[in-house]
Every structure is written in structure tokens, then in C-alpha cells.
Amino acid sequence: MNPFIEEIVKNIAAHTDLSGEEIAGQIALPPNPEMGEYAFPCFVLAKTMRKSPAAIAAELAGKGKPGSLIRTVRNAGPYLNFEVKRDRLAAFVLEEIYEKGTHYGTSDEGSGKTVVIDYSSPNIAKPIGIHHLRTTAIGHALYRIHEALGYRCVGINHLGDWGTQFGTVIVAYKRWGNEEALKQAPIHYLLDLYVKFHREAETNPTLADEARGWFVKLEHGDEEAVRLWRLFRDLSLTELKRIYEKIGIRFDHYWGESFYNEMLDDTIAAMEAKGLLKKSEGALIVDLAEHDLPAYLIRKSDGATLYQTRDIAAALYRHKRFGFSKMLYVVGAQQNLHFQQLFKVLELMGCDWVENCAHVNFGTMRFKKGRMSTREGKIVFLEEVFERAVALTQAIIEQKNPDLKHKEEVAHDVGIGAVLFADLSTRRIKDVAFDWDEVLNFDGETGPYVQYTHARFCSMLRKYGKPVHADVNFSLLKAREELAVVRLLERFPSTVRAAAESYEPSLIARFLLDLSTEANRFYNSCRVLGEDEAVTKARILMVASVRTVLAKGLYLLGMGAPEEM
């Protein structure tokens, strides 16, 4: 706990029956600096103290005492607001950042614990489209955020590399495909086949049956089916890995659905042993009516297994292998029902650890006009989005700063960062509309804006050219703009923690936008490299702290932080 919160807790604990932890858990940031640095909402006390929150706030304000760190205690409506001694806050925050450097905001609260994160997980044999951006960006950010909190993270790409869609491409390939064309541009060629299949299937209903037939063959290990499946899978995977590499996304394991095939018999047997399985028109299901959920299909009447079956096997396997303390599935909200069913079935199987599993869902991505549909070939390729953003950055650099060093790298970091940040800065559950103009607009609240602010602060440090020290006179940092920056810097560790707790990287993105805005205000109104040496030293320490925290925040979101741009 930081010493300011400690003093606030003592203040409130003396007059209420709340525990220190309960009090600390409630403390929030007042809406504007005039109200102080910390606010305690009195709603929680209304019941026990039998008064309105506003009356409680007034009473506590009367009893509250300033201390060595706190300057005033005042009430405003239902809130009790604390104003701290500014120089003490600046000293505390800036010294801490100075000492911890890039470790500022990290902790060891997750030490000894493992978090499994299932993200990106595209269906292969189709190109990875823009609709997979969300899971990829959010999952990867959650990985880094948890890592910063000391957790051991295991990132799994649960590729859709098994299922009827492979029957589909096998049929299409056997009818219309050839190996040479396939090898030239595997993913796009497979997409063309996939689209053609669905177009033809509209008038030729036997095609779908044929595809199902080929998938059943594949499940029975038919030689030709397996050979083709392997060909498609390997080509797709190589392509996919190349793209991830380019955008800086990593996984510890590529364990696709097919990885669990050999465990399916045991999985089904375990469910059988618990008496969970029921026959229904030749298929095997788990009846969940009692739990107000539709039945969960485990095996089709033609014997084929399903996405569902493999997800049960995967959960059991991952738990056995990692004994995780948390497992996160970063998957769109369209699959809410699937995960409710999955978690319920695991619970019925006696897996009490299912309470540590979470479906980290997110809203859908739509085109501004019309629907995305791989089947109809209406898809924006993920790689193309990043490529266009990088190309645009290149063009801007050529125009504005053609002599910039490491142009290529900067354009790469900024272009990729722009796309990632655009996705990560909205709350994950919100639906988003995909629009080229918006993705390629770098003005306003964007990743490039944060990166630019970072580069600007790096440049100030270069100009200063001397080592930064923390033994400065903190009382010289008294401008409003300076206090605003300090207040935000202080919130970074709690923001990282909140992002992990609510699985919401957008909290960090928002934080970075706020910090950039305040940092730029400070830059514009406080002269850093001025005449007074003591003031310069204090302000340069601020500059270094801002740079450190911006770079760290960008890193947590999976973005680069160029020092010049």
C-alpha cells in the first residue's frame, strides 16, 4: 500500500468499523485536481451508520485529521476527499520510478501462480482476417500484463485445425484445385476454394454431404484425407507464424484442436463414467436443461467429434499439465453460450477448478457497411491492415521527417502500434466498426499520439545530455500541470492491476492517453531546460519518469516505443 493511502486508511478506520483493506479497496481518483488526490465514497457506510452517504462524508470530514502526508480532508456530496502534500507525493512517486525504472508498475503478487491464456486461435485453412485482431491484441496484452504482475504465463493458440471445414477444403481441392497453385499462395488459394465451395453448394446440396463424409474419413485416419489435411495445415501454419512474427505476437504453444484428438476417447469415457452422456437421435449429448442451458453436443450421429468435445479435452489437459490458478479464454461474445455450457459440463464432471476459468469475451467487429463473411469472401486480411498502416507511416515520415534515423523500424513500430492501439483503446465488450479511414487516421486519441509523446520526452532527455538524478528539490514542482502529471504517474501500478483484474487492457490504453495529454500540457507550459538549475533538475526527473511509464505502458499493450519519430 502506498503511504498516502495508508494514512487515509488510518484516518477513516478510526471512525468506522471497516477494515483497512475494505477502505483501501474503495479509494478512487477525484474527478478534478481541485478536489484532491484521493476520494473515499461513503456509500458502503450508509447501512451500518444509518445515515445518508453525504451526512457520513460531512461527519468524517469533521473528524478527519491532516497528517504528515495529508494536507486537507474535506467532504463533497457523498465523497470524502483528501488532498495530499504535493511535494511529498512528487517525491514518493518520482523516487519510486527512478529506483524501479522499467519495473515500475510491476509486482510479485502472481509469483508461483500460472495463468493459461488462450488467444488468437484462428480457424486455419482460411486466412486470418481482421475479425481476429481483437482476440490477438487483447490476449497478448493480457499475457504481458499478467507477466508484469509476476505470474507465469502460458500462451496457447488453440488453432481451429480440425473440423468439417477441412472436409470442405478437401472436397473443393479435389474438384478444382492443383498443388502448384496451392503452394504459390496457400492461404489465398484455400480461401478461393472455400468461397467457391460455398457458392457451388447453394445449387448442389450433395457437396455438403460429401464434405461431411471427408471429415469422417479424416477422423478415421484415411490416408488421403490425412495427407491433404497435413498439407493444408502445414502451409497455413507457416504463413500464420510469419504474420505473428511480423506483428510481434508470441505463443508458448500452438496446440490446435487436432492436438487433442487422441485424448477424445478418454474424455468421452470420463463423461460417461459420471453418467453425463445421453443418446439423442444417434448423437451423444449432455442434457443441461436442468441448468437452463441447451444440450451440449459431444458426438454427432455420424461419429464425428466436435469443437465442444475438443474444448473439454483441452481444459482437462491444460489443468493437468499446468495446474493453473487462472485460465482465460479470449474469445468473442458470440461464443458466450459455448463457454457457459463448457464450464457447466466441467463443473458436472467434478472439476472444481472451473471457477478459475473465465471467458474474456469481446464485442464483434463489423464493417461500417455490410457484414464480414469469410464464406462470401468478404474479409479484410489482418496482414493487409498492418501493411497499409506501416505504408502510411512511411509516407508520413518521408513527408515530415525524411532524415529520421531507423526510418524502417519506426514506421514498423508506429504502423503496427496504431492498429493494435485502436483496438485496445475501446472497452473490450463494445462492438466496433471497421473502417479504413479510421484505422489509418493517426490524429487524436491514437497509438501514434502516445508514441509521439514518448519520443518527444526522449528528445528532451537527449538535449539535456546529462545523467538524471533523483536528489532534487521536489517543492519546486508546484505548477498545476506538474501536479497533474505526478497524480497520473502515481496511478500507473493500480491501473495495471485493475487491467489484470478486469481483463481490460483498455484501462492501460486510456491511462496512456491521459498521461500523454497531461505530459504535453506540462511540456507546453513549464520550461524544462531553463536558467534555474534546480528547477531543471526537478523537471528533468519528471521528464524521465514520464518516458519510463509511457514506454512501459506501450510495452504492456504489445507496442514499440521508438525514441525518435
Measured distance CA(391)–CA(559) in Å, rounded: 17
Q: Name the helix (H) or strand (E) containing 140.
A: helix 133-148
Q: CB count, 10 Å around CB of 357? A: 22
Residues in CB range of 210: below 8 A, 6 or more apart: 167, 171
| C-alpha cell recorded at residue 438 | 479510421
CB of 227 to ligand ARG, least distance (A): 23
x/- letters, 63..102, toward ligand ARG (CB under 6 A):
----------------------------------------
H or E element in which residue 357 lies: strand 357-360
Size of the site for ligand ARG (CB under 6 A): 10
Render 200-219 in DSSP notation, one character per residue.
HHTT-THHHHHHHHHHHHHH
Residue 106 makes CB contacts below 8 A (sequence gap 6+) with 100, 148, 149, 150, 496
State the minimum distance, in angstroms, from the CB of residue 197 to ligand ARG: 19
Contacting ligand ARG within 415-474 (CB under 6 A):
none
Query: Shortest Cβ distance from residue 236 to ligand ARG (Å)?
Result: 13
Return the residue of 7, 37, 83, 118 that touches ligand ARG, per CB under 6 A. Answer: 118
Nearest of 351, 287, 350 to residue 319 by alpha carbon: 351
Pick the stretch among 121-129, 197-205, 294-302, 480-488 that binds ligand ARG (CB under 6 A).
Answer: 121-129
Determine which residue in the list 329, 362, 386, 523 makes contact with ligand ARG, applying CB under 6 A: 329
Pick from 295, 304, 299: nearest CA to 284: 299
- Nearest approach, Cβ of residue 505 and ligand ARG (Å): 18
Binding region for ligand ARG (CB under 6 A) out of 120-128, 369-377, 413-421, 545-553: 120-128
Whose CA is closest to 552, among 454, 470, 465, 408? 454
Q: Looking at beta carbons only, is 11 or 136 nearer to ligand ARG?
A: 136
Amino acid at 312: I
Q: Which CB atom, from 84 or from 331, has the smaller least distance to ligand ARG?
A: 331
State the nearest-atom distance from the C-beta of 122 to ligand ARG, in Å: 5
Q: What is the DSSP letter of 132?
A: G
CB of 408 to ligand ARG, least distance (A): 32
- Cβ 159 to ligand ARG, closest distance in Å? 7
The residues in 129-168 that bind ligand ARG, with binding defined as CB under 6 A, are 158, 160
Shortest Cβ distance from residue 317 to ligand ARG (Å)? 11
CA distance 88 to 468: 19
DSSP-assigned letters across all residues of 276-314:
-EEEETTEEEE--GGGT-PPEEEE-TTS-B-HHHHHHHH
Q: Which one, 329 or 503, has the nearer CB to ligand ARG?
A: 329
User: Cβ of residue 231: shortest distance to ligand ARG, in angstroms?
Assistant: 20
Q: Is 121 in the site for ligand ARG (CB under 6 A)?
A: yes
Q: Residue 353's closest CA among 319, 380, 392?
A: 319
Of residues 26 and 373, the one with the C-beta less far from ligand ARG: 373
How many angstroms separate the Cα of 379 from the Cα of each of 297, 300, 382, 384, 417? 29, 30, 9, 11, 22
Comparison of 6 and 355: residue with beta carbon closer to ligand ARG: 355
HSE of 514 in the Cβ direction (CA atoms, 13 Å)?
Answer: 18
Q: Please say which residue, 144 or 158, places its beta carbon nearer to ligand ARG.
A: 158
Span interacting with ligand ARG, options 57-65, 119-127, 141-149, 212-220, rule CB under 6 A:
119-127
**Count of residues for the chain?**
565
Q: Which is nearer to ligand ARG, 340 or 459 (CB)?
A: 340
Measured from each CB, the residue nearest to ligand ARG is 160
CB of 279 to ligand ARG, least distance (A): 25
- The CA distance from 260 to 99, in Å, is 47
When the beta carbons of 316 and 550 are compared against ligand ARG, the nearer one is 316
- Which grid coordinates are listed for 235? 502451409
CB of 31 to ligand ARG, least distance (A): 39
Q: Which is nearer to ligand ARG, 85 or 131 (CB)?
A: 131
Among 106, 123, 308, 446, binds ligand ARG (CB under 6 A): 123
Label residue 433 exposed, middle or buried (CB < 10 Å: 0-12, 13-18, 19+).
exposed
To the nearest whole angstrom, how small is the minimum distance from the Cβ of residue 160 to ligand ARG?
4
Contacts of 26-30 with C-beta under 8 Å, sequence gap 24+, read 29/487, 29/491, 30/76, 30/79, 30/81
Residue 118's SS3 state is strand
Would you tell me which residues interact with ligand ARG (CB under 6 A)? 118, 121-123, 158, 160, 311, 314, 329, 331
